[in-house]
């Protein structure tokens, strides 16, 4: 028994350090950097497949951005009662959000901002039109052209 206690004391610091690292990584999943909801007038991302019998009006899609341990986005599909139907993790394609070179009129500085995200091999461009917890999926050819020219 005394040997076990000495063994535990010897590796206690290592165990505490490993626990802190684990909680830092796993804890980040509990606390997203930012959370957004898909706008009612936006189409669903292509990687979202609705369960049989559901329409877009029957569901909501939220998106969480995480910075640690690596930049990523998580999409959560919920029914009207808030029950999670599906979760998908996405990879950010660029180092940071981008704006159009020819900035459209009528938008606040820094907006609209775009983020290219790939889920299950399908890339979509997410649009943030202003500072609000809403996102859109864009098909704007100018945005796609600029994204492709950036080489992200």
What residue ranges do the domains of the chain occupy? Answer: 1-31, 32-150
- Asked if residue 3 has pLDDT above 90, the reply is no
pTM value is 0.77
- Cα–chain-centroid distance for residue 79? 19
Coil, helix or strand at residue 24: helix
Q: Quickly state the pLDDT bin for 8 (edges 50, 70, 90).
A: low
Helices (H), the chain: 2-30, 141-150
Q: Quickly state the pLDDT bin for 144 (edges 50, 70, 90).
A: very high
For the chain, counts of helices (H) and of strands (E): 2, 7
Tell me which residue of 101, 97, 121 sits closest to 36, measured CA to CA: 97
Q: Report the alpha-carbon angle 102-118-49, nearest 5.
A: 115
Neighbours of 100 (CB within 10 A): 15
Q: Which is more confidently placed, 48 or 19?
A: 48
What is the distance between the terminal CA atoms of the chain, rounded to a whole angstrom?
A: 58
Q: Quickly state the pLDDT bin for 89 (edges 50, 70, 90).
A: very high
CA–CA distance, 25 with 92 (Å, rounded to integer): 18
B/e letters for 6-42, b = 16+ CB within 10 Å, e = fewer, are eeeeeeeeeeeeeeeeeeeeeebeeebeeebbbeeeb
């Amino acid at each position: 028994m005394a040997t076990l206690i000495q063994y535990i004391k010897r590796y206690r610091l290592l165990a505490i350090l490993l626990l802190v690292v684990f909680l830092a990584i796993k804890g980040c999943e509990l606390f997203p950097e930012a959370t957004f909801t898909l706008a009612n007038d936006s189409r669903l991302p292509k990687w979202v497949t609705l369960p049989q019998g559901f329409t877009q009006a029957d569901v909501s899609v939220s998106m969480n951005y995480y910075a640690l341990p690596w930049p990523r986005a998580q999409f959560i599909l919920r029914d009207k009662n808030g029950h999670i139907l599906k979760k998908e993790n996405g990879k950010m394609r660029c180092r940071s959000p981008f704006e159009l070179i020819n900035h459209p009129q009528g938008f606040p500085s820094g907006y609209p901002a775009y983020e290219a995200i790939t889920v299950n091999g399908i890339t979509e461009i997410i649009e943030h039109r202003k500072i609000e917890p809403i996102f859109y999926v864009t098909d704007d050819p100018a945005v796609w052209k600029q994204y492709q020219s950036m080489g992200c």
